């Protein structure tokens, strides 16, 4: 089993988007930019920086256009943003961003609450978004939320996850990220659902996105590694959650994943302490502790001044 673990893992940072969309307090645009630019110096190659969604749905990210337009490009780093429809794509194109992500789910009720469409409707909209984005040189990622458990419908079928993932890839997304939106999955769920997906899709087309509500995210990453998955979405400091998924808490902390990968000799190219320093930018603005265990460990060596 161990011999089949990947030698290199891509850490896909979602803190500036998944993390900040769920904060009660809206973080200032300048602080967001400092956070992202610090993250860009840590060795991360993929950073999801914001969402071009309705400001009524997610007021915390209403400054998406300004954030992207003020960011300095960093060699080797791709910035990405969520886009739910053509209106969002227009703003994404205007911003000059290199990558976007469309997002649906494997359960109807969640899609309805999150983006006010049904699954079929979301796929129709995304087809237009992808076809319009590509000629602008924008690459597109796809999310399948509630990949294991839905906060409204409970258990989610592995067949549904596979069907939607396949359709997104056929439409032209370069990768699907399967979300444990409420952080309820166990490693056996990962084996079952992702094992089934791997019978239909190559491992490099699949990323895993674990929230850590019930403390199983790291175990779930290990289950994913054993299946040969080598892209994991994490959030600096362990920030995160979705306002339309009741009870969802933060993503697995980037610092925590880096610690485990380093310890296992799996290369990510990301520097743990540098991510901690980037997370500090947000901790200072929010005046609170962040959930990541490595963040807490490093902080106790270097107490924050409020
Ligand atoms: P709707 O109300 O059906 O949209 O919302 P609409 O087309 O009827 O428009 C309503 C208003 O929004 C109009 O403005 C539009 O112009 C405006 P008004 O005329 O009332 O002033 N509007 C927009 N404005 C800016 N950008 C846009 C946009 N679209 C419409 N793109 C909609 C539908 C999809 C827009 C809305 O429900 C929405 O924005 N939802 C986003 C929700 C969201 O961001 N959720 C969190 C991200 S998903 C997540 O966290 C899960 C993930 O992390 C993976 C996992 O953990 O599983 C990815
Ligand atoms: Mg998420």
167 inside domain: yes
| Distance in angstroms (rounded) separating the CA atoms of residues 51 and 55 | 9
pLDDT for the residue numbered 1: 40
53 inside domain: yes
By C-alpha distance, which of 182, 150, 183 is closest to 164? 150
Cα 52 to middle of ligand 1, angstroms: 8
Nearest protein CA to atom 50 of ligand 1, as residue: 242
Q: Is the C-beta atom of 51 inside 6 A of ligand 1?
A: yes
The SS3 call for residue 117 is: coil
| Distance in angstroms (rounded) separating the CA atoms of residues 125 and 129 | 6
Cα 205 to middle of ligand 2, angstroms: 18
Nearest protein CA to atom 56 of ligand 1, as residue: 181
pLDDT for the residue numbered 306: 45
pLDDT for the residue numbered 304: 53
Q: Is the C-beta atom of 85 inside 6 A of ligand 1?
A: yes
How many contiguous H segments (helices) and E segments (strands) does the chain have? 12, 10
Q: Is the C-beta atom of 12 inside 6 A of ligand 1?
A: no
Tokens representing 88 are: 């969002």
| Distance in angstroms (rounded) separating the CA atoms of residues 40 and 254 | 13
304 inside domain: no
By C-alpha distance, which of 141, 156, 124 is closest to 82? 141
Tokens representing 288 are: 């609170």
* Residue burial 174-199, b: 16+ Cβ < 10 Å; e: rest: ebbbbbbbbbbbbbebbeebbeebbe
305 inside domain: no
- Active-site residue, 242 included: yes
The CB-side HSE value for 18 (13 A sphere, CA atoms) comes to 36
Question: Could you tell me the residue range of the domain that residue 260 belongs to?
Answer: 2-299
| Runs of H (alpha helix) within 237-306 | 254-264, 272-286, 293-301
Would the pTM count as exceeding 0.75? yes
CATH of the domain at 245: 3.20.20.70
pLDDT for the residue numbered 2: 41
Q: Is the C-beta atom of 248 inside 6 A of ligand 1?
A: no
Percentage of the chain lying above the pLDDT 70 cut: 97
Helix (H) or strand (E) holding 91: helix 86-95
Structurally, the chain folds into a number of domains equal to 1
Nearest protein CA to atom 40 of ligand 1, as residue: 115
DSSP 98: S
Q: Which of 111, 164, 208, 242 is catalytic?
A: 242
Q: Is the C-beta atom of 88 inside 6 A of ligand 1?
A: yes
10 inside domain: yes
Q: Concatenated DSSP letters for 198-227?
A: HTTS-GGGEEEEEB-TTS-HHHHHHHHHHT
Nearest protein CA to atom 6 of ligand 1, as residue: 54
For a mutational test of ligand 1's pocket, the pick from 14, 54, 84, 231, i.e. the residue with the most ligand atoms closer than 8 A to its C-beta, is 54
C-beta separation of 178 from 103 below 8 A: no
Nearest protein CA to atom 37 of ligand 1, as residue: 115
Q: Is the C-beta atom of 57 inside 6 A of ligand 1?
A: yes
In this prediction, the residues of the chain whose per-residue pLDDT falls under 50 are 1-3, 306
pLDDT for the residue numbered 197: 98
| Distance in angstroms (rounded) separating the CA atoms of residues 277 and 38 | 8
């Amino acid at each position: 089993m161990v011999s089949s673990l990947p030698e290199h893992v891509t850490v896909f940072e979602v803190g500036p988007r998944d993390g900040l969309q769920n904060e009660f307090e809206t973080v200032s645009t300048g602080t967001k930019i400092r956070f992202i630019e610090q993250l860009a110096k840590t060795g991360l190659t993929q950073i999801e920086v914001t969402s071009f969604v309705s400001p009524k749905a997610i007021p915390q990210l209403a400054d998406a256009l300004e954030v992207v337009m003020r960011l300095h490009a960093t060699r080797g780093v791709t910035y990405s943003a969520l886009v739910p429809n053509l209106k969002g794509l227009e703003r994404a194109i205007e911003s000059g961003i290199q990558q976007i992500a469309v997002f649906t789910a494997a359960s109807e009720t969640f899609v309805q609450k999150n983006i006010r469409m049904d699954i079929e409707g979301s796929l129709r909209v995304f087809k237009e978004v992808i076809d319009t984005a590509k000629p602008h040189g924008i690459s597109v990622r796809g999310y399948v939320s509630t990949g294991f458990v839905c906060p409204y419908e409970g258990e989610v079928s592995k067949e549904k996850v596979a069907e939607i993932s396949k359709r997104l890839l056929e439409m032209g997304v370069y990768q699907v990220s399967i979300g444990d939106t409420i952080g309820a999955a166990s490693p056996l769920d990962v084996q079952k659902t992702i094992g089934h997906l791997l019978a239909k899709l190559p491992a490099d087309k699949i990323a895993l996105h674990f929230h850590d509500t019930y403390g199983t995210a790291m175990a779930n990453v290990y289950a994913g590694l054993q299946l040969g998955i080598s892209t994991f979405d994490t959030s600096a400091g362990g920030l995160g959650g979705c306002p339309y998924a009741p009870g969802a808490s933060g993503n697995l902390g980037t610092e925590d994943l880096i610690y485990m990968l380093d310890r296992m000799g799996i290369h990510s190219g990301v520097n743990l302490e540098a991510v901690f320093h980037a997370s500090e930018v947000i901790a200072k603005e929010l005046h609170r502790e962040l959930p990541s265990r490595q963040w807490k460990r490093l902080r106790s060596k270097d107490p924050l001044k409020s």
